[in-house]
Chains A and B, each alone.
Chain A
Amino acid sequence: GNSVTQMEGPVTLSEEAFLTINCTYTATGYPSLFWYVQYPGEGLQLLLKATKADDKGSNKGFEATYRKETTSFHLEKGSVQVSDSAVYFCALRDFDFGNEKLTFGTGTRLTIIP
């Protein structure tokens, strides 16, 4: 079956540091991959996505590249801000018309200190 493995948190960084949150996946087909972000007290928001191998998703300074050979979709940002403090979820949707579900990782809590 499908699964998503995320880097264990919590992660604490200083402002302007470089961020990487690792995500690897197992899927039976050719999945779409997503990063969602959840700010305190809010719902999940789509941060970025990639739908095929070698695609790069990007938004708000965050990037992730769909690597089929390593089954990975690591999230990166060159210089984090205090406002990036949140929980980040990696997710996949297998390309199967009969299955609309997203498979989520367990989430990585990120705290940025000034």
Chain B
Amino acid sequence: DARVTQTPRHKVTEMGQEVTMRCQPILGHNTVFWYRQTMMQGLELLAYFRNRAPLDDSGMPKDRFSAEMPDATLATLKIQPSEPRDSAVYFCASGLPRRDRGTQYFGPGTRLLVL
């Protein structure tokens, strides 16, 4: 049963520290999405990639957030420097939209707490 994996599952850090979250998409999926979920804002799309190229990062605070796909099996989301308002659950999702009519498969999330 293929799944999206994310590491770490939980992260507690202090304000100003760098945070790196990793995602391994389902093998063969060519599109990767990063979402953030909070009680106040709900589910927000931060960025997404197709064939490792960034297509849209308009949902991401540019000054402190960056997203990359070093290779087809790894996507990263970095926050530098982190702030308390970044505390949230960050989800990665992957898909093969043209074959699967847009279905996205979500990972379990990284729960981030910035003190």
**Contact surface of A with B, Cβ cutoff 8 Å:** 32, 34, 36, 42-46, 49, 51, 89, 93, 95, 97, 100-102, 104, 106-107
**Measured between alpha carbons, how far is A51 from B102 in the docked complex, in Å?**
9
Closest-by-CB residue of A relative to B43 is: A104
**Measured between alpha carbons, how far is A48 from B42 in the docked complex, in Å?**
21
**Closest beta carbon of chain B to A74's beta carbon, Å:** 20
Option from A43, A51, A100 in Cβ contact (under 8 Å) with B55? A100
User: A100 near B105 (CB under 8 angstroms)?
Assistant: no
Binary interface encoding of chain B residues 81-115 relative to chain A, with 1 for a CB under 8 A from any of its CBs, else 0:
00000000001010101100111111111000000
User: A44 near B106 (CB under 8 angstroms)?
Assistant: yes
A46-B103 contact given A100-B31, A100-B55, CB 8 Å threshold: yes
The A-contacting residues of B in range 25-53, CB under 8 angstroms, are 31, 33, 42-43, 45, 48, 50
B14 contacts partner chain A, Cβ-Cβ < 8 Å? no
Main secondary structure of the interface of B (DSSP, over half): strand
User: A100 near B50 (CB under 8 angstroms)?
Assistant: yes
The contact sample of 17 A-B pairs, CB cut-off 8 A, is A32-B102, A36-B106, A42-B109, A43-B91, A43-B107, A43-B108, A44-B91, A44-B106, A46-B105, A49-B103, A89-B43, A93-B102, A100-B55, A100-B95, A100-B97, A101-B56, A106-B42
Could you say which residues of chain B place their CB within 8 Å of the CB of A45? Answer: 106
Could you say which residues of chain B place their CB within 8 Å of the CB of A89? Answer: 43
A51-B109 contact given A100-B55, A107-B42, CB 8 Å threshold: no
- Pick the most buried of B4, B43, B98, B107: most chain A CB atoms within 10 A of its CB: B43
A49-B101 contact given A100-B50, A104-B43, CB 8 Å threshold: yes
Closest-by-CB residue of A relative to B9 is: A41
